[in-house]
Chain A
Amino acid sequence: MIKCKNVKKSFGAHEVLKDIGFEAARGSIFGLLGPSGAGKTTLIRILTGQIAPDGGNIRVMGMDPQALSGKDKKHFGIMMDNFGLYERFSCIDNLGMFADLYGISRERALSALREVGLTDAAKRPASDLSKGMRARLQLARAFMHEPELIFLDEPTAGLDPQTMKGIHRFILEKKKSGATIFLTTHNMEEAYRLCDRIVLLHQGTIVEAGKPEEICRRYDHQKRILIHLADGRDAVYERGGKDAEEICKLLRNEKVETIHSTEPTLESVFLELTGKNLQEDA
Chain B
Amino acid sequence: MSNMIVIIKKQLKDTLKNKTILIQFILFPFMTVLMENAVKIDGMPTFFFTKLFAVMYIGMAPLTATASVIAEEKEKNTLRVLTMADIRPWQYLCGIGIHIWMICMLGACVMSTTLPAEKIPFFLLIMGTGFIISVIAGASIGIFSKNQMMATSIVMPFMMILSFAPMLSLFNDRIKKFATVVYTQQLMVLFDEMTFRGFYANGITILLVNALLCVLLFAFAYRRKGLA
**Contact surface of A with B, Cβ cutoff 8 Å:** 48, 50, 70-71, 73-74, 76, 78, 82-89, 93, 97-98, 100-102, 125, 141
Q: Are A89 and B13 in contact (CB under 8 A)?
A: yes
What are the residues of chain A within 8 A of B88 when measuring CB–CB? 70
Q: Which residue of A lies closest to B19 (CB)?
A: A88
Taking the closest CB of chain B, its distance from the CB of A6, in whole angstroms, is 25
List 27 A-B pairs, Cβ < 8 Å: A50-B80, A50-B84, A50-B228, A70-B87, A70-B88, A73-B84, A74-B85, A78-B81, A82-B80, A83-B78, A83-B80, A84-B76, A84-B77, A84-B81, A86-B78, A87-B76, A88-B14, A89-B13, A89-B17, A93-B13, A97-B6, A97-B9, A98-B81, A98-B85, A100-B9, A101-B6, A101-B85
Taking the closest CB of chain B, its distance from the CB of A78, in whole angstroms, is 6
What are the residues of chain B within 8 A of A76 when measuring CB–CB? 84
Chain B 49-91 near chain A by CB (<8 Å), digits 1 or 0: 0000000000000000000000000001110111011111000
Q: Which of A48, A70, A76, A125 has the most CB of B within 10 A?
A: A70
Q: Which residue of A lies closest to B15 (CB)?
A: A88
Across chains A and B, which 7 residue pairs bring their CB atoms closest together, nearest first? A70-B86, A84-B76, A88-B17, A84-B77, A84-B78, A101-B85, A100-B6
Bound CA–CA A89/B13 (angstroms): 8
What are the residues of chain A within 8 A of B24 when measuring CB–CB? none
Q: Which of B3, B17, B84 has the most CB of A within 10 A?
A: B84
Any chain A CB within 8 A of the CB of B205?
A: no
Q: Which residue of A lies closest to B78 (CB)?
A: A84
* Secondary structure type dominating chain B contacts: helix
What are the residues of chain B within 8 A of A82 when measuring CB–CB? 77, 80
Q: Are B86 and A97 in contact (CB under 8 A)?
A: no
**Contact surface of B with A, Cβ cutoff 8 Å:** 2-3, 6, 9-10, 13-14, 17-18, 76-78, 80-82, 84-88, 228
What are the residues of chain A within 8 A of B81 when measuring CB–CB? 78, 83-84, 98, 141
Q: Pick from A71, A86, A88, A125: contact of B86, CB below 8 A.
A: A71
Bound CA–CA A102/B2 (angstroms): 11
What are the residues of chain B within 8 A of A141 when measuring CB–CB? 81
Q: Are B85 and A102 in contact (CB under 8 A)?
A: yes
Q: Which of A78, A87, A101, A102 has the most CB of B within 10 A?
A: A101
Q: Which residue of A lies closest to B16 (CB)?
A: A88
Q: Are B77 and A73 in contact (CB under 8 A)?
A: no
What are the residues of chain B within 8 A of A87 when measuring CB–CB? 76
What are the residues of chain A within 8 A of B2 when measuring CB–CB? 100
Bound CA–CA A93/B14 (angstroms): 10
Q: Are A101 and B86 in contact (CB under 8 A)?
A: yes
What are the residues of chain B within 8 A of A85 when measuring CB–CB? 76, 78
Taking the closest CB of chain B, its distance from the CB of A48, in whole angstroms, is 7
Bound CA–CA A74/B86 (angstroms): 7
Q: Which residue of A lies closest to B3 (CB)?
A: A101
Q: Are A48 and B84 in contact (CB under 8 A)?
A: yes
What are the residues of chain B within 8 A of A50 when measuring CB–CB? 80, 84, 228
Q: Are A83 and B3 in contact (CB under 8 A)?
A: no
What are the residues of chain A within 8 A of B228 when measuring CB–CB? 50
Q: Pick from B14, B84, B87: contact of A86, CB below 8 A.
A: B14
What are the residues of chain A within 8 A of B13 when measuring CB–CB? 89, 93
